[in-house]
Amino acid sequence: MKLFTTSQVKGLGRGSKVLVPTINLAIPPDFEYAHGIYAGYLILTDKKSHEKKQYGAAIHYGKKPTFTDKDISLEANLIDIEPQNIIDYDSEHISIALVSYIRPVQTFIDAASLLHEIHNDIALIKQALAKS
């Protein structure tokens, strides 16, 4: 499992408003993976204590064709934790690790169909992370 260092970037806010909240990430220069959905981990550093905390994550890498976004993005939805319970982290120093490939990026007919698939993905991701 290779660890990449990155930082948070501003997203469009669509995840927290319409789908599931995500942390949008700068794509590391040596990040050479197929576009798709991955099971993985985000490692965040507490601003005050500098302790690192690992979170299981559903990770999207690629375009977002359901919304006709042409830009490639990297974003992570932290699973099994509510956004308000995430530590106050250093957004400039985030580590990401991919554990397993779940599926390719797909186009859905609407946001509701995409949200349904995201929930299916999260169930598969939990299984993959339990085995890692």
pLDDT in tens, 2-38: 889 999 998 665 555 455 788 999 999 999 999 999 9
Confidence band of 89 (pLDDT split at 50, 70, 90): confident
Chain length of the chain: 132
Task: Reply yes or no on whether the pLDDT at 110 is more than 90.
Answer: no
Q: Is 115 helix (H, G, I), strand (E, B) or coil?
A: helix
pTM: 0.87
Question: Mind listing the pLDDT tens digit for each residue in 33-82?
Answer: 999 999 999 999 999 999 999 999 999 999 876 666 678 999 999 998 87
**What domains can you pick out in the chain, each with its CATH number?**
3-131 (2.40.30.30)
- How many Å from the N-terminal Cα to the C-terminal Cα in the chain? 10
